[in-house]
Structure formats: C-alpha cells, structure tokens
Amino acid sequence: MSQDAALANELLHLAQAIATKAGEMLMQRPADMNINQKSSARDFATQMDHASEALIVKEILAARPDDGIIGEEDSTIASRSGITWVIDPIDGTVNYFYDLPGWNISIAAKDKDGVLMGLVHAPTINSTWHAIRGGGAFKNGRPIRVNDPVELGSALLGTGFSYDTGRRTEQAAFISGLIPRVRDIRRFGAAAVDLCHVASGTFDGYFERDLKEWDLAAGTLICREAGGVVTGATVGPDGQLGEPGEAMTIAAGPTLHASLLAAIRGAD
C-alpha cells in the first residue's frame, strides 16, 4: 500500500469512528431545541449542531493535533500537517429540528490536491457512504455506481431550496418548467445525502444553488468516485465548468449531467 493510500485509510477509519460517536449522541434528540438564527429565519443552528461539531473537532485533534479544521459552526483551525478536515456536524438541521429522517454527519479530509477522503453518515436511514480518492465509492461497505445513461425524460431528480427568498422565487419558476420534462423531483433536505443518493443510484441526478464547502466536500468525492459528474453551472474564462457550489451544483451520470446543464443554462 502506498503512503497516500495508507494515510487515506487512516483518515477514513478515524472519520468512521467519530461519525458513529456523533451519530449516537445526536440520536438522543432533546425534547427542547435552542436555536440561533444565521442568515435568515430558515437558516439556523441548534445546540446539537454545536455539540456535534465540538465532539468531532475534539476527537480529530486528539488523534491528529496538527491537522486543520473547517466547520460549518465556525470551527476554523489552520493546518500544520497538510491535511484539513471539512465538517458539517448536522447536514439537514431543519430535518433534525423537526425530527425528520435523512439528516447526517458529513466529514471530509483534503490535502493539496483536493478532497482525499469523504464520509457521510445518516443514522436515521441506516446509511453510511464513503470514498477515498481513486478508490471507488461505497454504501454500507458495498460498491456503488451512478445510473448511466439516463435521459432527462426518465430522470428522478433531487433538489433543495435556497435560504434566500429571492432565490426561492427563481427556483420555483425553474422547477415549474422542469417538472413536465422529467420523471419526478424529490426534496429531502440534506445536500450531502442527496449527492450520495446520486452516487448509489437512488436519484438519477441532483441540482441545488448556494451550497457551501461543508455541504459538498464529502458527497462530491463520493459521487465522483461512483462515476458521477459534479460541477458548478458557471463557466470560467477558460471555458471550463466551475467548481461545485458556484451558482448551481449539478450532479449526475455523464449523460444526464449534460442534459441538466443545458436545461439549467437555458433557464438562466
């Protein structure tokens, strides 16, 4: 095993242990939730988001004190080792708040070349996805693959809605035009799991605006390692697609990705 592969496996095993521990804590859901508003009344964190992030950061630094941290709830530590962890302690906080399934813990680790390892643990649906860069993608330990080829008219798509009211109005108009052209659309409320649903073929494709690095890091690697294409819909000066999270994240198998990209650009 190469040095990089050994490191990736070490990081994966640590992430698995930490995500399991955080998931067990979060499943002991308190009867009363304290919330603090972030960008809007729709965008908030609970005391359990903060508790989960604190647990994850503490466990990572206990094992690897020189690593960096990027966390949704403001944990920011510069890396001295070359490895930085990207954490969403509860992806799908609204689901968690309302006691709906599908919320998850998303943990990724990146090096100078990008995301090296990603893990998404969703205890309410008994699902854990993981991938190591160059090593394929897995759900509950079994290899997974995106659906491809899929035509737009046969596609089951996932999506999510922005916290911004203006963006939501735009999204409603776009989706009303897209629905007659696809098999159906689902909105589950947790971006990391939505990306993993594409990876494991539960969705044919997925699109969403305004995603952040912690929403995307683990799920994007998992989807790409399952054969999916994950991009932003913007085009840079060199004519290449943007990175996920820019304008609109699109994830699908190669055939459907091209059709979704054309549909989204046609609506811009």
More confident site: 232 or 200:
200
Q: How far apart are CA 63 and CA 54, in angstroms?
A: 14
Q: Which fold has domain 152-267?
A: D-Maltodextrin-Binding Protein; domain 2 (3.40.190)
The domains of the chain are located at 3-143, 152-267
**What was the pLDDT predicted at 145?**
98
pTM of the predicted model as reported, rounded to 2 decimal places: 0.93
127-147 mean pLDDT: 98
* pLDDT beyond 70 at 37: no
Q: Which residue has the tokens 């941290």?
A: 69
* Residue pair 161/214 in contact by the 8 Å Cβ criterion: no
Whole-number mean pLDDT of the chain? 91
Share of the chain above pLDDT 70, in %: 93
Average pLDDT over residues 39-45: 56
Average pLDDT over residues 53-76: 94
Give the pairing of strands 142-143 and 137-139: antiparallel
Average pLDDT over residues 41-45: 57
Fold classified for 3-143? Fructose-1,6-Bisphosphatase; Chain A, domain 1 (3.30.540)
Question: pLDDT tens digits, residue range 143-154?
Answer: 999 999 999 999
Model confidence over 1-25: pLDDT tens digits? 577 889 999 999 999 999 999 999 9
Q: What is the pLDDT of residue 265?
A: 80
- pLDDT value of position 236: 60
Alpha helices (runs of H) in the chain, residue ranges in sequence order? 3-27, 47-63, 93-97, 165-178, 191-199, 213-225, 254-267
